[in-house]
Amino acid sequence: IGAAKRNVVASGNPEHLEFSIPADDGVRWFQLWVDADHDDGGAVQGVVTTMVETTEQKRREQTLKTLLREVSHRSKNLLAIIQSIATQT
């Protein structure tokens, strides 16, 4: 996080990070945005940092991926059955 802030101060360009931190109940995920705070003359005078915990979103995404894989697998199985029946007739 410190390196991202230093980069923003040096370059004036915003940075976005996604990272995880170990926790007692598994892993916690975060997204971090670091933007330059400019003075009236346009010089970087500091940074504005926003951090959002995205653990639940990550869990939902993983659940969705698992469900989509299962639907794809079942669809392929059904298609194989239909093709088998079609070739027998």
The tokens 């346009």 sit on which residue?
42
Map out the domains of the chain as residue ranges: 1-53, 57-89
- Full-model pTM: 0.72
What class does CATH assign to 1-53? Answer: alpha beta
Query: How do the pLDDT tens digits run along the chain, 89 residues long?
Result: 999 999 999 999 999 999 999 999 999 999 999 999 999 999 999 999 999 999 999 999 999 999 999 999 999 999 999 999 999 87
Whole-number Å distance between alpha carbons of 60 and 66 = 10
Biggest CA-to-CA distance, the chain:
79
Handedness of CA 46, 48, 58, 65 (dihedral sign): negative
Sheet holding 15-23, edge to edge: 15-23, 26-38, 44-53
Task: State the Cα torsion 23-2-49-20 to the nearest 10°.
Answer: -20
Which backbone phi and psi does 17 adopt, to 5 degrees?
A: -125, 150
